């Protein structure tokens, strides 16, 4: 009762992130809970050090709870994981579909350690190969222009970005090979994330080996103080038994092994007011299926609002702890906390009745008539 909603676009028409504008705007307008329903996984350090993640943490310090969707990257073949033996190499292959209008491919290779720890080589389906310098320069192989850049985050994560472009107008279809060489005397743990000009959670360019659904929580769900939310099925619509984890739900840990996933909530699939942006011919009074961790996170944001209504003095850390200790476990979650479910399934009733517990600061209905129309489950905007 008496609550107000502040709604802002995360991007402008050119796809630029507007966080430097909408976060201060929300703070200035008295936001107590902020919800982020988008995610990015390429050209991100994925370690909590980005400007956006730091802005979330700064807002937390001001007493504003930050709720973030974990992302829909699990099961999408967009993440490859390779542990390289000392002074040795390994390959990951990705597939560019034929006649897919793929005009560019973007990859980020991440590892915890010095920048010189790895060498990156790329081979096209036509047989041409190039060792990439990572010096913000372009090179050409088999008619493709390839840019690479290597940098390191303040938290010690090295990131090697690769951008493959073609004016044919499509990238050559087939299997491409990405080879990583470990230049260190120790084993090197590496992660590779991929996307293309469509920027979708699934389809398009995908890895065909070295697949791993762990480490698939997207930024800004990787922020230190965020309450990061996964999704589970409640209706069994399309795929997934009621109660089971959604196949797309991003999983932890973070690449620095921090257990970043907090809790899971219904997001597979929910029923929401239909938007003309997502559903053709949507009109007032119509509803649509809405799925994804973007559908799960609002459950948690609303629950946090109820908690703060009941106990306005709760800090963001106390809110997070209350959600953790009251979360449900069952045969689907197994022993919690774990990287797939976080603390378990959201239980706001139990959270409201849970005894207050001091915590240290961490190191984040339908009304008739109803008309259901199908809506695409991909609900995030790529940053």
Domain 79-207 class?
mainly beta
φ, ψ of residue 311 in degrees (nearest 5): -135, 80
Residue 230 CA to residue 70 CA, distance in Å, equals 5
| Arch. (CATH architecture) of 19-74+223-341+368-373 | 3-Layer(aba) Sandwich (3.40)
Q: What is the pLDDT of residues 317-363, one digit of tens each?
A: 999 999 999 999 999 999 999 999 999 999 999 999 876 555 444 44
What pLDDT shows up at residue 338? 98
What pLDDT shows up at residue 238? 64
| Radius of gyration of the CA atoms of the chain, in A | 21
Task: Tell me which of 135 and 358 has the higher pLDDT.
Answer: 135
Quote the mean pLDDT of the chain: 90
Task: Please check whether residue 296 is in contact with residue 266, taking contact to mean a CB–CB distance below 8 angstroms.
Answer: yes
Please give the average per-residue pLDDT across 290-315, as a whole number.
95
Task: Please check whether residue 227 is in contact with residue 262, taking contact to mean a CB–CB distance below 8 angstroms.
Answer: yes
What pLDDT shows up at residue 344? 99
Smallest CA-to-CA distance from 378 within 120, 199, 191 is with 199
pLDDT exceeds 90 at position 275: no
pLDDT exceeds 70 at position 372: no
Q: Where are the domains of the chain?
A: 19-74+223-341+368-373, 79-207
What pLDDT shows up at residue 378? 42
CA dihedral 43, 49, 52, 57 (to 10 degrees): 160
Report residue 284's pLDDT band, with 50, 70 and 90 as the boundaries: confident
Report residue 272's pLDDT band, with 50, 70 and 90 as the boundaries: confident
What pLDDT shows up at residue 273? 77
What pLDDT shows up at residue 365? 32
Strand order in the sheet with 104-112: 79-84, 188-196, 104-112, 157-165, 144-152, 135-141
What pLDDT shows up at residue 362? 47
Q: Report CA-CA distances (Å) from 78 to 107, 188, 227, 248.
A: 10, 20, 24, 11
Q: What is the pLDDT of residues 186-232, one digit of tens each?
A: 999 999 999 999 989 999 999 999 999 999 999 999 999 999 999 99
What pLDDT shows up at residue 177? 99
Please give the average per-residue pLDDT across 265-294, as a whole number.
78
Query: Which residues on neighbouring strands pair with residue 311, listed in sequence order?
Result: none
How many of the other CB atoms lie within 10 Å of CB of 286? 17
What are the residues whose beta carbons fall under 8 Å from the beta carbon of 258, sequence distance 6 or more?
48, 224, 252
Phi-psi region of 58 (alpha: psi -120 to 50; beta: other; left: phi over 0): alpha
Report residue 248's pLDDT band, with 50, 70 and 90 as the boundaries: very high
pLDDT exceeds 60 at position 370: no
Task: Please check whether residue 118 is in contact with residue 212, taking contact to mean a CB–CB distance below 8 angstroms.
Answer: no
Please give the average per-residue pLDDT across 245-267, as a whole number.
97
Residue 377 CA to residue 279 CA, distance in Å, equals 11
Smallest CA-to-CA distance from 39 within 266, 195, 272 is with 195
Q: Do domains 19-74+223-341+368-373 and 79-207 have the same CATH topology?
A: no
Please give the average per-residue pLDDT across 257-283, as a whole number.
83
The sign of the torsion formed by the CA atoms of 214, 216, 217, 223 equals positive
What are the residues whose beta carbons fall under 8 Å from the beta carbon of 199, sequence distance 6 or more?
382
Q: What is the pLDDT of residues 18-76, one digit of tens each?
A: 888 889 999 999 999 999 999 999 999 999 999 999 999 999 999 999 999 999 999 99
Query: Which residues on neighbouring strands pair with residue 289, listed in sequence order?
Result: 271
Residue 106 CA to residue 32 CA, distance in Å, equals 36
What pLDDT shows up at residue 9? 81
What pLDDT shows up at residue 357? 53
Task: Please check whether residue 158 is in contact with residue 150, taking contact to mean a CB–CB distance below 8 angstroms.
Answer: yes
Task: Please check whether residue 143 is in contact with residue 166, taking contact to mean a CB–CB distance below 8 angstroms.
Answer: yes
What pLDDT shows up at residue 20? 82
pLDDT exceeds 70 at position 375: no
What pLDDT shows up at residue 290? 80
Q: What is the pLDDT of residues 88-119, one digit of tens each?
A: 999 999 999 997 789 999 999 999 999 999 99
pLDDT exceeds 80 at position 265: yes
């Amino acid at each position: 009762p008496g609550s107000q909603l502040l709604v802002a676009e995360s991007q402008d028409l050119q796809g630029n992130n507007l966080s430097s504008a909408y976060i201060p705007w929300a703070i200035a307008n008295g936001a107590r809970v902020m919800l982020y329903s988008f995610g990015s996984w390429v050209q991100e350090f994925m370690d909590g050090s980005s400007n956006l993640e730091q802005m979330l943490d700064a807002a937390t310090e001001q007493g504003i709870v930050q709720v973030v969707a974990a992302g829909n990257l699990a099961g999408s073949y967009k993440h490859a994981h390779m542990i390289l033996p000392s002074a040795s190499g390994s390959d990951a292959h990705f597939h560019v579909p034929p006649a897919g209008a793929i005009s560019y491919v973007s990859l980020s290779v991440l590892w915890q350690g010095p920048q010189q720890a790895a060498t990156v080589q790329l081979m096209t389906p036509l047989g041409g190969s190039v060792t990439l310098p990572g010096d913000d320069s372009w090179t050409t192989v088999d008619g493709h222009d390839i840019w690479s850049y290597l940098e390191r985050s303040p938290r010690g994560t090295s990131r090697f970005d690769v951008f493959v472009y073609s004016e044919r107008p499509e990238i050559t279809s087939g299997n491409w090979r990405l080879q990583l060489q470990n230049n260190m005397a120790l084993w090197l743990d590496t992660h590779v994330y991929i996307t293309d000009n469509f920027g979708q959670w699934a389809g398009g360019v995908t890895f065909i080996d070295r697949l791993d659904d762990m480490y698939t929580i997207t930024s800004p769900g990787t922020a230190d103080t965020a309450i990061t939310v996964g999704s589970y099925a409640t209706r069994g619509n399309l795929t997934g038994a009621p109660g089971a984890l959604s196949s797309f739900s991003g999983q932890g840990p973070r690449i620095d092994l921090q257990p970043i996933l907090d809790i899971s909530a219904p997001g597979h699939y929910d029923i929401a007011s239909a938007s003309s942006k997502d559903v053709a011919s949507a009109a007032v009074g119509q509803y649509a299926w809405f799925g994804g961790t973007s559908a799960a996170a609002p459950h948690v944001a609303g629950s946090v609002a109820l908690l703060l209504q009941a106990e306005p003095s709760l800090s963001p850390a106390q809110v997070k702890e209350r959600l953790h200790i009251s979360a449900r476990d069952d045969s689907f979650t197994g022993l919690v906390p774990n990287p797939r479910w976080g603390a378990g399934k959201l239980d706001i009733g139990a959270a409201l009745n849970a005894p207050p517990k001091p915590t240290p600061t961490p190191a984040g209905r339908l009304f008739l008539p109803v008309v259901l129309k199908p809506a695409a489950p991909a609900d995030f905007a790529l940053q």
